[in-house]
Amino acid sequence: MGKPKKTVSDACDSWLKTCLRNELERSTLKAYRSHAKIHIEPRIGHLLVSDLSRSEVRDFMDELLDDDVSRALVKKIMISLRAILSEAVEREWATHNAAAEVKVKRSSRRDAKRAEIPTKEEIRKIINNAPKTHRAMFITAIFTGMRISELRGLTWEAVDFDRKVIRVFQRADEYCEIGLPKSRAGAREIPMAPMVLNTLGDWQALRLKSDQNLVFPNTVGKVQNYSNIYNRVFKPMLVENEIVDHEGNAKFGIHALRHAAASLFIEQGWTPKKIQTLLGHASITMTMDVYGHLFENAEEDVSMFEKLERDLLAA
């Protein structure tokens, strides 16, 4: 009697159980479940993993793109599909991973969306007009490039006033639960600019009650909810200070504060590797994909080529 035939849906269920068994964060499990149940199973869940071909996987990927699923999300779904089929191979339900070599190609330069970065004037407006309840948080974000999840999970033990550094070793997820950083690179030390040092010193003096010793707790001392920060504080602040788009809506999300920090780091002439470390990116590729265009300086490039010519001909 041969082995029972397993479908892609069977492999999805097995993989999700493995992820749950490995105690992945709830937000990660939620994303993986969405990939499997909303995108993968409805389209190819009925297919047998033993018969699945590379062509069928490619058709699945193209169908997602044709249905206007964003290229970024399609990449994540394909990563999940590869993991699902890898699980099937490990369980001997299939002999090979049909998705292993099917990749989402880079979008053209024409279609690529660059991160929208606040101008210096907009950054100064935020610093000068942020509500007292969140000014310290926003200033810390602007000068350190910390993720909002890292700021929500920041504790006073991680703020070293003597060494003038902030140690990042945890973050708060979308459920307000404290966990490890997004990746190994997320654990890092970030120097504090004088404004951050002084602002956090003043903020600490207020001694907001928090059983978890959080730097930026909510009114009852717990982890702040991300949507509350954005909808009740950040967005109204932008609108009130006319930092808006052509329709009068808030121009940026909170993540723009991290982009602002990166742009300031780059303007100082710091190396991509140093900026990768400060931002906690898992790879230099990620840093360059998001901020590579900010390193470009046409006038400086011209000067470099003029010097190259002078040095060559002088020899």
Please name which of 118, 74, 73, 75 lies closest in space to residue 255, comparing C-alpha atoms.
118
Tell me how far CA of residue 42 lies from CA of 9, 34, 69, in angstroms: 9, 11, 14
> In this structure, are residues 139 and 199 in contact, taking their beta carbons and an 8 Å threshold?
yes
Q: What is the CA radius of gyration of the chain?
A: 24
Please give the backbone phi and psi of residue 36, each rounded to the nearest 5 degrees, phi first: -75, -50
Per-residue pLDDT of the chain (315 residues; tens, 9 = 90+): 456 789 999 999 999 999 999 988 888 899 999 999 999 999 899 999 999 999 899 989 988 887 778 888 999 999 999 999 999 999 999 999 999 988 887 655 444 456 789 999 999 999 999 999 999 999 999 999 999 999 999 999 999 999 999 999 999 987 888 988 877 888 999 999 999 999 999 999 998 999 999 999 999 999 999 889 999 999 999 999 999 999 898 999 999 999 999 999 999 989 999 999 999 998 888 888 888 888 877 666 777 788 888 887 886
pTM over 0.85: no
Cβ contacts of 131-135, under 8 Å, gap ≥ 24 = 131/233, 131/237, 133/233, 134/216, 134/229, 134/233, 134/234, 135/199
Cα separation, 292 vs 174, whole angstroms: 29
Cα separation, 131 vs 138, whole angstroms: 10
Give per-residue pLDDT as tens, 130-185. Answer: 999 999 999 999 999 999 999 999 999 999 999 999 999 999 987 888 988 877 88
Residue-level pLDDT at 110: 45
Buried b (16+ CB within 10 A) or exposed e, 185-204: ebebebebbeebbebbeebe
Question: What are the start-end ranges of the E strands in 87-169?
Answer: 159-160, 165-168
* Distance between first and last Cα of the chain: 81
> In this structure, are residues 190 and 166 in contact, taking their beta carbons and an 8 Å threshold?
yes
